[in-house]
Structure 1
Amino acid sequence: MIIMKFGGTSVENAAAIEQVAEIVRSRQKDSPIVVVSAFAKVTDQLVLMGQQAASGDCESCLQLLQAIRARHLETAEALVETGFSKISKRVESITADLEHFVRGVAAVRELSPRSSDCLLSFGELLSSEIVAAALAVRGLDSVWVDARECIVTDAMHTRARPLFEATKEHLQAKLGPVLVKSRIPVMGGFIAATQEGIPTTLGRGGSDFSAAIVGAALTAERIEIWTDVEGMMTTDPRLCAEARTIRQISFNEAAELAYFGAKVLHPATLLPAIEQNIPVYVLNSRNLKSKGTRITAHAPRSRDIFRAITAKTGVSMVNVVASRGLMVHNFLRSVFEALDRHGCPVDLVAISEVSLSFTMESKRLPETLLAELEEIADVTCEDQQAIVCLVGEDIHGKPGIAANVFTTVAKAGVNVRMISQGASEINISFVIKEGDVPQAVRHLHRHFFPSHSAQVGRTAAAGEVRRARSATRDRNANGSRSKSEKIGRNRSGSASGGARVSRAPGEHPRPRQVSAAPLLNVKLASGSRG
């Protein structure tokens, strides 16, 4: 059994869903379970609808609803000529429920996290119904399954956490009978429900997480994440045109990249797969010949120092300096207790005796936290920052790497605000201004991932140097033997005897060549701040 997850751009229109059907057909013998995201941009539209309804702008909200309804009906009609009446009734029914819901939000002018989860679930409900119908009319024995009856979570609305034991029971109960009949279940990603049946979501991008949860619960052979790129890349191709596909990467490396900004995977996607040692493939739904990226527990050592470079934007850096009179241990404890009370997930931390800096997503940084910290310390907050992260196995065991990184960044004219080398030995992270990200990433990628032609050029040049040195050694050796023989004959009439080589007057020994590479060897303290 395999899990096949298709992202929003892979199901964005009728042509894309036609391609999905062919991909699923090619995997039919593997007993696939299909997980789909909402159509591209629909989740964003639902968010906007919620904002409009909560502000009382019901007219704009309903206009957007009509556009969503029309798009899904048009796509369904193009895909399901036979049986369109049935799927159109389902689309009309779901969008009618959506209209009723947003009118209620507009009436009370409030959109709570619980209501937001209910609102956003409509995108996946619509797309999964249409994809299931499209597969069925193409001869694939598909059946729609409500994900809210399969994945059980806690009540942490907008970023709910799965309850794995309950989820496993529900999935086996709902999907077991379907799989026994060799049918193909189709379900929406991202959405789930509490044990009481109240809709929840797994956070933006959570469809990947849904696929991994299902795969782990049912012990799938592999999990395939189908998207619109060739796989995981050495960096964001929008920042650097020379980015290339990573063929194989370890779970730890991929998770680190996902957390620090790589858009291909949801940060939590890999956790269930890691626990069950299930390989994850990232594949391109628009290029079936692409081999994509294979993510496994361990990956072969890369020929490059790093596996990839990523950047996380929309970050704030908070600097907290202890007020006089507050004991150091009390200061640190107070800061971390405040972070815990406000439920703030921190990305990087740098600590000294009397100060602490941390970063987190700007949109998740509460003003109440800053106000509380100001009661115990001097606090400054800098927005529009970004975290650049270079990931690779065992990089901390190689001298000179940190110096190489920061020399390259300096040559790019970029100032580093904060440096962190975490407990894991697979990343070097630092904070810069958001506007400097393209410049920094391009320079780093050019340096650590040189193009093939540059590598060939360097290899050829190195070969020429080696050959030239070899020829020089041979000439010197031949010349030495010739002179030795002559000197020996002049002294004893024999070529034997330990002769020494003389130099012409004024000739000096050739200087020994020394590589400059080992000279750049800087060891950075964990969590130092620039």
Structure 2
Amino acid sequence: MIVMKFGGTSVGSADRIRGLVDQVEERLLQRPVVVVSALAGVTDLLIRGAGLARDRDPQLAPLVSRLADRHQDMIRELFGPGPFRDRLLRHVADLMTELGSLYAAVSAARELTPRNLDAIAGIGERLSFEIVAAALEAGDIATRAVDARRLIVTDESFGRAVPLMDATAQRVRELLRPLASQGVVPVIPGFIGATPEGVVTTLGRGGSDWSASIIGAALPAAAIEIWSDVDGIMTLDPKVAPGATLIPAIGFEEASELARFGAKVLHPATLQPAVQAGIAVWVLNSFNPAAPGTRIDVQPEDAASEPRGIALRKEVCLVLIAPPRRSGDGFRARVFDAFARHDTPVDLLASSEAWLSLTVSDATRLPDVVAELAAVGEVQVLQRMATVTVVGRGFARRPGAGKRMLASVDNLHVLMIAGGSSAESLSLVVPVEQVEEAARRLHREFFEQEAREDPQGEPPEACAVAAWGA
């Protein structure tokens, strides 16, 4: 068995769904299990609609009409008059009624809870997976639509639910294995799951990749394929650096770091289930299926510490905390307890004699953290920051790596350099308006020049301190 996950652009039009049918048909002998995202842009519209409902904005009605029209138009383009079209149009009508009720509840309460938002945000996948299943069936492929709310069991962390793997694995094996063994292609909506009591949850934005990996590990599958609109994992986003090139093969740890620091090819949690199950993950292009793609797998222990790729993340907050003169040994513990208590992950950490400096990419609850930290020390928050990260196996331990990075961006405003939680990465923090230029320069330095000896200098650990200046 294999798992084939198709992203929003891969199901974004009738032509793309026809291409999906062809790609699945080519792999029928491998007994595929298909996971699909919502149509491109639909989740954003659903979430925007939730905000309009809360604010009782009259623009909500035309937004709902746009959602309905887009799916209905696709159905009419894919299917002629007959049972497939009729069934799917009823499906869309039923879900639009459900969506209207959810929006009405938000509007009546003038409040958008994480639980309500999950129920709303997951409507897109519930619309798309039935359309894809019908398209496969119309192509004479034995197919069964299986709702992920029956498969993916999660906790109640609405918006970022955590799968309960034992319960999920049992359901996957009970519901999907028999279908695949009979030559039936299961089609499953990504991104969504449900609590043991059946309440809808979501796995976070981009969570359909994670859904595919969870299902692949539970089956277990021989491979997990992530189909998107790029040829694979690139050395940098080609929109930022036209000279970016394909990475044909990369280790799990490196790919995880690229995802964690902003590369949008994969959801950051995608690889963990695959790593634990020892399953290779492929990143492939549904628009260019002949492209070889990128294979993500276990890397040999003796692999060289070469840079493999660069990731950037915009709209990061840099938090600076100055301890009181007599802070004692508990200062750092109090800081980290505050972030943990308010469910605000810290991405990067560096320290100097004067400051403890860290970055946060999810600032939803940062005001609560800052309010609590005011009792610990002086706190400053710098907004509209960004991180650019060079990733490679053992790269952070490479002598001179930090100095080489700093030299390549010498006239940009670098506020911090720090290693990640592993030895796979080194990151710079710069103002958001400078991050693309920083990424291009780093790409030229590490990927577009003739190979040469690194300049010698202190190891990067000695550089992992904050640097301030106007």
User: What interval of TM-score do these two structures reach, taking the shorter chain for normalisation?
Assistant: over 0.9
How far the C-alpha of 1:302 sits from its partner, in A, is 7.7
Cα deviation code 1:260-299 (max 9, x no counterpart): 0000000000000000110000000000110010000116
Task: Tell me by how many angstroms 1:40 deviates.
Answer: 0.4
CA contact (8 A) 1:342 1:369 kept: yes
The one-letter amino acid paired with 2:103 is V
Q: Percent identity?
A: 40
Contact 2:321/2:379 (8 A) holds in 1: yes
* Partner residue in 1 for 2:50: 50
Q: Does 1:200 align with 2:201?
A: yes
Q: Identify if the C-alpha distance between structure 1 residues 519 and 30 changes in structure 2 by more than 3 Å, giving closer, same or farther.
A: closer
Give every structure 1 segment of 4 or more consecutive aligned residues whose post-TM-superposition deviation is greater than 4 Å. 299-304
1:308 corresponds in structure 2 to 309
- Which string of whole-angstrom CA distances, capped at 9 and with x for unpartnered residues, describes residues 208-254 of structure 1? 00000000111100000000001000001111110111000000000
Shift of 1:525: 2.9
What is the rounded CA distance, in whole Å, between the counterparts of 1:141 and 1:4 in structure 2? 16
Q: What is the distance in 2 between the residues matched to 1:141 and 1:281? A: 25
TM-score normalised to structure 1 length? 0.84
Per the alignment, residue 437 of structure 1 pairs with 435
Partner of 1:30: 30
Whole-Å separation in 2 of the counterparts to 1:332 and 1:440: 31
Structure number with higher relative contact order (C-alpha < 8 Å, ≥ 6 residues apart): 2
Counterparts of 1:233 and 1:301 in 2: how far apart (Å)?
A: 23
In structure 2, what is the Cα distance between the partners aligned to 1:524 and 1:233?
A: 25
Q: CA deviation at 1:303?
A: 8.3
**Deviation of 1:102 (Å):** 1.2
1:366 is the counterpart of 2:382: no
The question of 1:528 aligning with 2:469 is answered no
- 5 Å-filtered alignment, 1:110-259, equals 110-259=111-260
Amino acid at match of 2:461: A
SS at match of 1:363: coil
Please tell me whether the aligned partners of residues 347 and 360 of structure 1 are also in contact (alpha carbons under 8 angstroms).
Answer: yes
- The answer to whether the 8 Å contact 1:390/1:427 transfers is yes
CA contact 1:149–1:170 (8 Å) conserved in 2: yes
User: Closer, same or farther in 2 for the Cα pair 1:523/1:44, shift >3 Å?
Assistant: same
Q: Secondary structure at the match of 2:53?
A: helix
Per the alignment, residue 495 of structure 1 pairs with none
Which consecutive unaligned segments of at least 5 residues does structure 1 have? 459-514
Q: CA deviation at 1:447?
A: 1.7
Distance of 1:386 and 1:261 partners within structure 2: 10
Partner amino acid for 1:334?
A: R
* CA distance in 2 between partners of 1:304 and 1:523 (Å): 14
Contact 1:328 1:354 in 2 (8 A): no
Note if contact 2:397-2:459 (Cα within 8 Å) is conserved in structure 1. Answer: no
Tell me the equivalent position of 1:71: 70
Q: Aligned equivalents of 1:35 and 1:313: distance in 2?
A: 29
Going from structure 1 to structure 2, the CA distance change for 1:276 and 1:303 (only over 3 Å counts) comes to: closer
Cα gap change, 1:252 to 1:390, in 2 (>3 Å): same
Conserved 8 A contact 2:142-2:184: yes
Residues in 2 aligned to 1:408 and 1:262: alpha-carbon distance in whole angstroms:
21
Q: Which residue type is aligned with residue 524 of structure 1?
A: P
**Residues 396 and 104 of structure 1: CA distance in aligned 2, closer, same or farther (over 3 Å):** closer
1:415 deviation in Å? 2.2
Specify the SS of the correspondent of 1:65: helix
C-alpha offsets along residues 384-415 of structure 1, whole Å, 9 cap, x if unaligned? Answer: 111111111122453332222211111xx212
Change in 2 beyond 3 A, CA 1:52/1:519: closer
Letter paired with 1:260: F
Distance in 1 (alpha carbons) for counterparts of 2:176 and 2:245: 38
| Whole-angstrom distance in 2 between the partners of 1:315 and 1:518 | 30
C-alpha distance in 2 between matches for 1:353 and 1:440: 27
Asked if the contact 2:401/2:454 (under 8 Å) is kept, the reply is no
* Separation (CA, whole Å) in 2 of partners of 1:372 and 1:359: 17
Corresponding residue SS for 2:359 = strand
The answer on whether the counterparts of 2:396 and 2:460 sit within 8 Å (CA) in structure 1 is no
Secondary structure in structure 2 of the residue aligned to 1:381: strand
Distance 1:398 1:369, change over 3 A: closer
Q: Which has the larger radius of gyration?
A: 1
**How far 1:355 sits from its partner (Å)?**
2.9
Secondary structure, aligned partner of 2:459: coil
For residue 300 of structure 1, report the CA deviation from its aligned partner. Answer: 9.5
Give the CA deviation at 1:524: 3.2
CA distance, structure 1, for counterparts of residue 454 and residue 141 of structure 2: 61
Give yes or no for contact 2:401–2:460 (8 Å, CA) kept in 1: no
Letter of the 1:45 partner, please give it: L
1:381 aligns with 2:381: yes
Per the alignment, residue 7 of structure 2 pairs with 7
In structure 2, distance between residues paired with 1:299 and 1:138: 42
Supply the AA of the counterpart residue of 1:69: A
2-side partners of 1:269 and 1:177: how far apart? 25
Q: Secondary structure at the match of 2:46?
A: helix
* Whole-angstrom distance in 2 between the partners of 1:109 and 1:422: 40
CA distance in 1, matches of 2:398, 2:317: 31
CA gap of 1:19–1:76, structure 2 versus 1, over 3 A, is: same
Distance in 2 between residues matched to 1:115 and 1:414, nearest whole Å: 43
Note the 1:385-424 alignment, pairs <5 A.
Answer: 385-410=385-410, 413-422=411-420, 424=422
**1:318-339 per-position Cα deviation (integer Å, ceiling 9, x unaligned):** 1000123x33313222212211
What residue number does 1:427 align with? 425
Equivalent runs, 1:504-519 vs 2, <5 Å:
none
Q: How does 1:273-352 map to 2 (within 5 A)?
A: 273-298=274-299, 305-324=306-325, 326-352=326-352
Contact 2:106 2:112 in 1 (8 A): yes
- Cα gap change, 1:519 to 1:283, in 2 (>3 Å): closer
Cα distance in 1 for partners of 2:336, 2:406 equals 30
Work out the CA distance in 2 between the residues paired with 1:130 and 1:158.
Answer: 25
Distance 2:47 2:455 in 1: 54
Is the Cα contact below 8 Å between 2:399 and 2:460 reproduced in 1?
A: no
Distance 1:304 1:335 in 2: 33
Change (3 A) 1:65 1:331: same
For 2:149, the aligned partner's letter is R
- Report if aligned partners of 2:4, 2:35 keep a CA contact under 8 Å in 1: yes
Report the aligned-residue RMSD.
Answer: 1.8
C-alpha distance in 1 between matches for 2:97 and 2:454: 68
Structure having the larger proportion of residues in helix? 1
Aligned length: 464
Q: Corresponding residue for 1:464?
A: none
Q: Which runs of 5+ in 2 are unaligned?
A: none
Helix, strand or coil for the counterpart of 1:210? helix
Cα 1:103–1:327 shift into 2, 3 Å: closer
SS at match of 1:339: helix
Distance 2:195 2:396 in 1: 42
Provide closer, same or farther for how the CA distance between residues 390 and 518 of structure 1 changes in structure 2, counting only shifts above 3 A. Answer: closer
Q: Following TM superposition, by how much is the alpha carbon of 1:423 offset from its aligned partner in structure 2, in angstroms?
A: 5.1
Q: Is the 8 A contact 1:4 1:225 kept in 2?
A: yes
* Cα distance in 1 for residues equivalent to 2:404 and 2:357: 24
The 2-side partners of 1:27 and 1:447 are apart by 41
